[in-house]
Amino acid sequence: MKTIFTIFFIVLSVNSFSQATISGQVLTKNGEPIPGVNIFVENTYDGASSDAEGNFSFTTTETGEQKLIASFIGYKTWQKLLDLDAEINLQIELHENINTIDAVTITAGSFAADDESRASIMKSLDVYTTPSANGDVMAAIRTMPGTQASADDGRLLVRGGDAYETSTYIDGLIAAKPYYSKTPDVATRGRFAPSLFNGVQFNTGGYSAEYGQALSSVLVLKSTDLPDDDNTGISLMSIGAEANRTERWENTSLMVSGGYTNLSLYDKIFNSSIDWEKPVESVNGSAVFRHKTRSSGMLKAYINADYGELAYLVPTGNSGNKMKISNKGGTVYSNLSYHDCFSEKSCYRIGVSSTWQDNRLGLDSDDVNTKELNIETRFAVVHDISDGVKLTWGANETFNKYNQDYIENKNVLYNGTFNDHLLGAFIEPEIKFSKNFGIRPGIRTEYSSAIQHWNIAPRFALALKTGKKAQLAGAWGLYYQTPQADYLKINTNLDFEQATHYIASYQFGDNSERLFRAEAYYKKYKKLITYTLAENGLPENLQNNGHGYAGGLDLFWRDQKSIKGFDYWLTYSFIDTKRKYQYYPEEATPYFISKHNFSAVGKYWVNKINTQFGASFSAASGRPYNNPNTNEFNAERTKMYSDLSLNMSHVFYLGNQYSVLYCSVNNVLGNNNVLSYRPTNVADAQGNYTLVPVKRDIKRFVFIGLFLNF
């Protein structure tokens, strides 16, 4: 028996220390050696890396059938089952992975910023530290090419498009009222705080088939996920105060915030071109709930409510008389979204958003009371069908309920109301034939119950890498938009407005260091809404007889590398556009268009004093305006517009939380920019109408804020 056990242990010992040698060479499909490839036996530490000639060799104590794996960044992983009971010498051929970080990305018309984009353009910190923005997402986006300087508007005006031609989405769901209420001659600002978002995708044209209802552009905001820890924030500002509290648990977080704004004291200290009767006063509150359901699932719920009012006087040209314009109302926006994955290669997003707004606009003794409800449900599914082929498809349903009363001397002169169900669906594959060339064809279709029309919108985009950090891209597509509520409340016998986009772009570099981008575009408008003005100022004779075009060139340069601690970007836009729409008697350049727009933003961080200094400069050529004393429509131009703004952000710590002392001054030089001229409705004895200059409400806007975190 002892002999048997001795023989058994000898055999076991020999088998335990027997070794097989695995050697070979790793090559590309063209026969070129690949150094640095990791070759190993699955679930073991046995392996080696290929040398400069692609050769490798190692030994293993594993026996029988085992899986050998070879992996290297930029190439598809190679796997093969081998019998390790014999010596092995083999040749491994690796194929390029077309989804690598340096692969082509389809970017025509799109400026993206999120964790998955290597060409990030603008994040929430950029918004807060851009001097001219004053913490407004929309104002910061206006430093990007393709936008118009709009100190008297505040909304995004993109590549010749009116403000209604840009749609805003949060986590893929529509935000129907992204701005505070707009009143004549006074700029508004965005409704949502930049700190809610960690990603911004600004599409100046040629955007994905996933989105519709925007003739010019879409702004897609991606909200943050779970915060890192608990936090309390208090903000003391020259125009009000805010407070927020964030609680973080293992897989869940809740944030609540509230704020109050009042410009009464500010108006008393600084001169304003607006004759305020009641400066802006508003309150707002919001709550954000996030819950991670598992490794790939995330539930987000967001609600924001605000209420505000203002009143001011404007000259009428009638013996010094003035008309009172007032506005008050509230808005509630909610957004519920969930994303998860069916499998490693199939994921989905579902959600619902709603916007309720009750707004009252006063025009002397007249009132325009508007109530609007917008609810959208949406889902999208993404499949990684194979290496280099991704398919995205989905659908949405948007319900809009609108009611407006026009009250004259306390009598209801007019009531406009309509309901609309907008159904939309899309499918969009993205195909990368190699890491240097990819295409994205897509198609979208929509049906509006209010106007009882379908549309079909094919779209196509492509990109070609021309170097390690350079690529060409192009896009074409049809884009439709349901007529605005101001028209549907009067007449639903209308059709979709339409625009066709043509875009070609060249991009070089990486935004983490230096990025240059040039993009040429052309848009053709059809079926724009036209009308004539009735005696009461309401549109009549509504038709889809409008048309127009917009073409131009956008340039962008950003440099974060040349000077340590210094980040700057430069933009220039040229546009040539005319259109016949609304009440225009002929095709003309719209009043909000400057042919040339330039902006420069620079930020420098001084590490020794934990302070960032920033400056932004914007300039624009004159805008057209209509002088009723001449025979040509929108033929005259204002003088050139310019603005220099400065800011300073000093960071200090309270415990382990950072706080910020912030100060900014807009229009430091005090330029008395005339933005437009508004004709009065009263003529003098010679039949000439008085023109009232439209200027920014405050020549220099000074903002001081102390943002404390605990």
Q: What angle do CA 117, 121, 127 make, to 5 degrees?
A: 125
For residue 493, what are the contacts with CB-CB under 8 A and spacing of at least 6?
A: 451
pLDDT band at residue 97 using 50, 70 and 90 as cut-offs: low
Give the pLDDT of residue 317.
62
C-alpha 560/C-alpha 122 separation (Å) is 13
Three-class SS state of 262: strand
At 230, which amino acid appears? D
pLDDT in tens, 232-249: 889 898 888 999 999 999
| Helix, strand, coil percentages in the chain from 3-state DSSP, rounded to 5 | 5, 60, 35
C-alpha 341/C-alpha 347 separation (Å) is 4
547 pLDDT higher than 80:
yes
pLDDT in tens, 328-347: 999 999 999 999 988 878 89
Give the pLDDT of residue 47.
85
Give the pLDDT of residue 124.
64
Q: How far, rounded to the nearest angstrom, does the alpha carbon of residue 32 sit from its chain's CA centroid?
A: 43
C-beta separation of 216 from 161 below 8 A: yes
C-beta separation of 341 from 322 below 8 A: no
272 pLDDT higher than 90:
no
Give the pLDDT of residue 73.
65
C-beta separation of 556 from 145 below 8 A: yes
Q: What is the DSSP letter of 182?
A: P
Q: How far, rounded to the nearest angstrom, does the alpha carbon of residue 393 sit from its chain's CA centroid?
A: 21
Domains of the chain listed by start with CATH number: 2-94 (2.60.40.10), 110-709 (2.40.170.20)
Distances (CA, A) of 523 to 117, 441, 551, 572, 709: 27, 19, 6, 19, 47
Distances (CA, A) of 99 to 36, 342, 465: 20, 21, 13
At 703, which amino acid appears? F
Q: Are strands 217-223 and 166-170 parallel, antiparallel or unpaired?
A: parallel
Interval 209-230 mean pLDDT: 88
C-alpha 345/C-alpha 317 separation (Å) is 66
pLDDT in tens, 281-326: 999 999 999 999 876 789 999 999 999 999 988 877 656 678 888 9
Give the pLDDT of residue 338.
94
Tokens 């404007």 map to which residue?
314
